[in-house]
Structure 1
Amino acid sequence: MISKDDLEQLLEKYFSDYSSSHIYLLIGFFVTTVLFQILQAIYVSNKIEKFKNELKRSEIKFSRFNTLQIDALKLIYDKAVTPTGARLQRVPT
């Protein structure tokens, strides 16, 4: 039967032989994880910037279209409400 001291010595010897490779493996895993997270953050921030720029362009187009539509509706309303002899001409802003 193996005594407790012999078992502890065997385990210590076994783990001490592989401790340097374990350390290198853990360091490699840590560096790989950090590098992956940095690349992922860069990729996501680029995607967000592209989305924000596209959203700004579409908002500008929509706001210009909305302004033109409001001006046209104002003219139609003025023509519908005012008497035929006193039509007002609004200049779009």
Structure 2
Amino acid sequence: AVLSSRRAHMLVALLGVAMSGAAYVPVDPDYPAARIAYVVEDCGAALALTDTDLDGVLEDLDTAVVELPRPEPADTAYVLYTSGSTGNPKGVVVPHR
């Protein structure tokens, strides 16, 4: 299940699920808590990706919850290995900005 507001990271989550070979069920996080719990339980979701605080909506269900990160400009985007001046590769951290 993907419980996310309509932002760019929602598309990334949907693409990630699809590319992994899994299936997703989009769930609007603005739905009432009972409806969210029903949809997630009824579809048999093993995992719920979310960008919002669910305030325990899914805690009684057999569903793992993973919160989608919201990176800050200074957070690491990736690490690029260079040839290094010593002959050994050296990792250089590249931030999101």
Greater Rg over alpha carbons, structure: 1
**TM-score using structure 1 length:** 0.21
**TM-score using structure 2 length:** 0.21
> Of the two structures, which has the highest relative contact order with CA contacts closer than 8 Å and spacing of 6 or more?
2
Query: Greater strand percent: which structure?
Result: 2
